[in-house]
Structure 1
Amino acid sequence: MKENKSGEQSVSHTKQEIEGQPELWQSVFDLIQAQQKEIKAFLDPILNKNGLEIILTGAGSSAFVGEAAQGLVQKNSKRTTRAIATTDLVTHPELFFPKDHPVLLVSFARSGNSPESVETVNLADSFCSEIFHLVITCNKEGELFKYTRANTKTALAILLPEKANDKSLAMTGSFTSMLLSILLVSDLKNLESHKLELQRIMNQGNLLLDSAKAFKEISAKYFERVVFLGSGPMLAIARECHLKLQELTDGQIICKHDSFLGFRHGPRAVTNEQTLLVYLFSPSDHVYKYELDLAKSIAKDPRTIECVSIGRSEDKVLHSCLNIDLNLNSNQQLNIVPATLVGQIMGYYKSLQLGLNPDNPSISGAISRVVQGVKIYEYPEKIEHDS
């Protein structure tokens, strides 16, 4: 992807932001390492509170960061952890915010100005008897970052490097930077041991970027639907990939996502001869057995449904039109970070192939960098609860 070939936009922010991610991940690691004492001093007393619950939140891609990290944060912190989108918390706070035990609300936000993100913080302060905030953001001018500066006893912000604040519509470096940040922060005591894994995911990211020509050739193929499959934490990465390809093609390519096992239970009906399956395979040999069974089943479909296989060595039975072996390590936690590039790269090239501008592919203006048109209404029980 690092060569500017015919048909590519040499000044595309999207292209530069996708390509710059491996280097950005190093900057994120260095930032977390430099702020390790401050983060630890803030989080340790909170994590030691009896009954603490962690809620990971955001809107759109930022919500998918929480979904991808949820299981790993719970495993690392040994605290009940839930990923709940701000778009759910704003409409139904009474269903999700507990009043009888402490809560750490982790907000992911590229701009920190989305109406739902700001209102979620306000509602959490109103509904929860004991609430703390960790904001992971890319914008020092955002409302969420400003909130942490005004509430230093109960809130802390991790401001990511400037290059994480994508200029293009689609979240690329911001997504992977926020995801890497929370994974590192949730396992802060083992930060030094993650240095080797950081180098591994940087290599994996570069391997995907170096496969740009193959991704470009796939994007030139005719397909009207793309389904991304993943397991465990990779399921949310499949969801992010499906959104990335769909929004970069302005909805001309309809995308779906599911787990490998879940796909059997009805969603497989979406496949036809114009469908491309993208397998985001797990580093776990146990999980891979389930995934491979489903992939082999699809390979036997008489309609010859094409597939892309990411992560494992090539299995000839699958007849993959592209296979990229990422040399996965079964002990990896961070492998979900580079896997996100699959949807980004495919979206970028398919956007160009359709004659769109990847930086701003929405011809109608239906989607924008910061969501527009959301009106926040005062929650009817908020005043009563405050009193």
Structure 2
Amino acid sequence: MFGLTQKELEKGKAGHTAQEIYQQPKVWNKALHIFAERKEEIHNFLHAIYSKHEKVRVILTGAGTSAFAGDILVPELQKQDQEKVQFEAIATTDLVSNPTNYIFKKVPTILVSFARSGNSPESLAAVKLATDRIDHFYQVNITCNPEGKLAVNTKDDKNSLTILTPEEAHDQGFAMTSSFTSMMVICYLAFSKDTNAGEKLQTVITNGEKFIESVVNTVDAVLEHGMDRIVYLGSGSLGKFAHEAALKMLELSAGKVVAVHESSLGFRHGPKSILNDKSIVVLFMSQDAYTQKYDLDILKELSGEPKDIKTVALTEMDNEEVSQYANWTVSVNNSKQSLENDFYLSLLYVVFAQVLALKKSIQLGITPDNPSPDGSVNRVVQGVTIYPMTFA
């Protein structure tokens, strides 16, 4: 698996993380079937809310990786002509620390909570604050844990709906991998107006099964170059996705690799100063022809830098112009039909970022399943104090 023997995985304590990355196409397929079985129930729940109110606010929330799921999804969902629905991505860490900035009494709201464990103190606190404040409040919990407090607390609540991911998506490793992508798949299916979403996801799954086997070739080539800094770039929702890619490297390298993210256009505005001769820049290129122009411009600029910067460009399909300027080019869609939006692409691009972080962690002698054995960071966050809040 990813060029690692079972003995190497056991020695490096990487077995859970490696398997949870590798299994993703199969888990996405199971998530697709879970949604299909509950499609009518889910759509009836949402449509009942939409028909009751003139306008509905849908907040996609979570902390860390779970928050980034919302960041990635919102641009794609909002542009689908959903005139009655306003999608927003707001992290639980912001909702809890600044509730009066984000929680509005008179605005009908659906809080969509992404949660691997369902026991994060911020997730539970965000629900309580919204329940206490909002007149018409509804919940959709997308979680991996049927025993988590988010799922258990809303079991008999007619204004709440819990959707469980496939059992395998309840990651045992430290880093969120299959939990992250499977929750995004379910959320997209639930809220998207794309009637062909299931068919397109099948194309993603087919490509994912192939990519999961070949991705290690580029990853190993990148790791041979060596790096102590990595920059992830993208535009629009892929710029948001770059945040998750950077976090995976930061988490699994235990902070030994400086990992940052930025938009393709925003990188020139100061963040570019991070680059040195030990830098790798990974560019997630959009499938949108217009947006792609800006991605290509920064790639061209980086290829002309005097510093020994190496670039990796991930593209949907083979692109000769991109290959001229990138040190490594990775295409993820072997079909003849475009995936049509960057959300679908992100599901494939994430595999590269996850495998690169996994193998860099092992290269550094860190244990990916628990990269922070001193307890400075934990699988389920600890040390959070939730303070009582009284609304005026």
**Shorter-chain TM-score: what band?**
over 0.9
What's the counterpart of residue 274 of structure 1?
278
Give the TM-score, by structure 1 length: 0.93
What's the counterpart of residue 243 of structure 2?
239
What's the counterpart of residue 67 of structure 1?
71
Quick check: 1:41 aligned with 2:41?
no
Q: C-alpha offsets along residues 316-344 of structure 1, whole Å, 9 cap, x if unaligned?
A: 43141x21112372623422222111221
**Helix, strand or coil at the partner of 2:55:** coil
What's the counterpart of residue 4 of structure 1?
4
Q: Which amino acid aligns with 1:211?
A: V
* Aligned counterparts of 1:183 and 1:302: Cα–Cα separation in 2: 42
Q: Which amino acid aligns with 2:167?
A: E
Asked if the contact 1:229–1:260 (Cα under 8 Å) also holds between the matched residues in 2, the reply is yes
Asked if the contact 1:220–1:353 (Cα under 8 Å) also holds between the matched residues in 2, the reply is no
1:188, distance to aligned residue in structure 2 (A): 5.7
What's the counterpart of residue 179 of structure 1?
184
1:203, distance to aligned residue in structure 2 (A): 3.1
1:128, distance to aligned residue in structure 2 (A): 0.9
What's the counterpart of residue 338 of structure 1?
348
**Helix, strand or coil at the partner of 2:313:** strand
Question: 5+ residue gaps in structure 1?
Answer: none
* Aligned counterparts of 2:2 and 2:373: Cα–Cα separation in 1: 27
Q: C-alpha offsets along residues 150-173 of structure 1, whole Å, 9 cap, x if unaligned?
A: 31x110000111101000000000
Aligned pair count?
378
1:234, distance to aligned residue in structure 2 (A): 1.0
Asked if the contact 1:285–1:330 (Cα under 8 Å) also holds between the matched residues in 2, the reply is no
**Helix, strand or coil at the partner of 1:90:** helix
Aligned with 2:338 (options 329, 334, 346) = 329
What's the counterpart of residue 307 of structure 2?
303
* Aligned counterparts of 1:225 and 1:28: Cα–Cα separation in 2: 35
Asked if the contact 2:233–2:242 (Cα under 8 Å) also holds between the matched residues in 1, the reply is yes
Asked if the contact 1:309–1:323 (Cα under 8 Å) also holds between the matched residues in 2, the reply is yes
Give the alignment of 1:245-284 within 5 angstroms: 245-284=249-288
Q: Which amino acid aligns with 2:265?
A: L
* Aligned counterparts of 1:56 and 1:71: Cα–Cα separation in 2: 12
* Aligned counterparts of 1:341 and 1:319: Cα–Cα separation in 2: 19
Deviates more, 1:329-338 or 1:25-34: 329-338
Structure 1 residues 295 and 25, CA gap change in structure 2 (3 angstroms): same
Aligned with 1:212 (options 194, 216, 224) = 216
**Helix, strand or coil at the partner of 1:34:** helix
1:361, distance to aligned residue in structure 2 (A): 0.9
RMSD: 1.7
**Helix, strand or coil at the partner of 2:265:** helix
* Aligned counterparts of 2:8 and 2:174: Cα–Cα separation in 1: 17
* Aligned counterparts of 2:263 and 2:105: Cα–Cα separation in 1: 33
Structure 1 residues 200 and 157, CA gap change in structure 2 (3 angstroms): same
* Aligned counterparts of 2:193 and 2:33: Cα–Cα separation in 1: 13
1:2, distance to aligned residue in structure 2 (A): 4.9
**Helix, strand or coil at the partner of 1:47:** helix
Q: C-alpha offsets along residues 65-106 of structure 1, whole Å, 9 cap, x if unaligned?
A: 000011122233432111000000001110101112201111
Asked if the contact 1:104–1:133 (Cα under 8 Å) also holds between the matched residues in 2, the reply is yes
1:189, distance to aligned residue in structure 2 (A): 6.3
Give the alignment of 1:186-225 within 5 angstroms: 186-187=191-192, 190=195, 193-209=196-212, 210-225=214-229
Instruction: Please list every run of at least 4 consecutive aligned residues from structure 1 whose deviation after the TM superposition is greater than 6 angstroms.
Output: none
**Helix, strand or coil at the partner of 2:231:** strand
* Aligned counterparts of 2:357 and 2:114: Cα–Cα separation in 1: 23
What's the counterpart of residue 379 of structure 2?
369
Give the TM-score, by structure 2 length: 0.92
% same residue: 36
Give the alignment of 1:39-118 within 5 angstroms: 39-48=42-51, 49-76=53-80, 77-78=82-83, 79-118=85-124
* Aligned counterparts of 1:85 and 1:338: Cα–Cα separation in 2: 24
What's the counterpart of residue 353 of structure 1?
363
Q: Which amino acid aligns with 1:146?
A: V
Q: Which amino acid aligns with 1:4?
A: L
